[in-house]
A and B are shown apart, each in its own frame.
Chain A
Amino acid sequence: DVKVTQSSRYLVKRTGEKVFLECVQDMDHENMFWYRQDPGLGLRLIYFSYDVKMKEKGDIPEGYSVSREKKERFSLILESASTNQTSMYLCASSPHGAYGYTFGSGTRLTVV
């Protein structure tokens, strides 16, 4: 069964901490995405990557960075976590030139 795996289901971090959210896919997909989901706002794109070491900003990149050193792994980094980054974070992947997306189970991050 093809999968997008997010390393943590729930995470609690303190304000100012550096936070790493990891996402791994086993489908050899070129494209990987990080979204955040908030009540009343829906899903918003933070960053995406279309190849190893390639990245592009999405709609809300401020306060976040990403890393894609290997094709299967896409990491989201919160350089200095803040309470307004408390949210559900979802990773997704898709093959190049195609429209099918596979989503991970999400990481619910709480920053206190």
Chain B
Amino acid sequence: KNEVEQSPQNLTAQEGEFITINCSYSVGISALHWLQQHPGGGIVSLFMLSSGKKKHGRLIATINIQEKHSSLHITASHPRDSAVYICAVNSGGSNYKLTFGKGTLLTVNP
């Protein structure tokens, strides 16, 4: 079993829909990251969380430390949101090692 599990693996939505991507982890963590990767592109860091909730524009990330679970929400989705979203965690107090989920491929159709 992977230490970081994401669901769903693939998600197709219509423009304007509210989207949720989930991430569960099985280890103690010091930080959780949400990353975005457009097709053929590099990776952009969206959020880093250790507790609570963060918002940036139409994106919201939440984390529940007790349940070892995080969600990434996209409100009013747009075709430009189409990308792979990756959850990653720093575990064991290390800022060296990131453990990655396998990613969620989001496609938003116009």
Contacts and interface: CB of A to CB of B under 8 A. Distances in A.
A26 to B, nearest CB: 15
Chain A: interface secondary structure? strand
Contacts of B98: 33, 43, 45, 101
Interface of A: 31, 33, 40-45, 48, 50, 56, 58, 90, 92, 94, 96-106, 108
Interface residues of B, number: 22
Given A99-B48, A99-B95, A106-B42, 6 more contacts: A40-B102, A42-B86, A45-B98, A58-B97, A99-B31, A105-B42
A43 B88 CA distance: 10
Contact of B41 (A92, A97, A100, A105): A105
Nearest to A56: B96
Interface string B38-53: 0011111100100000
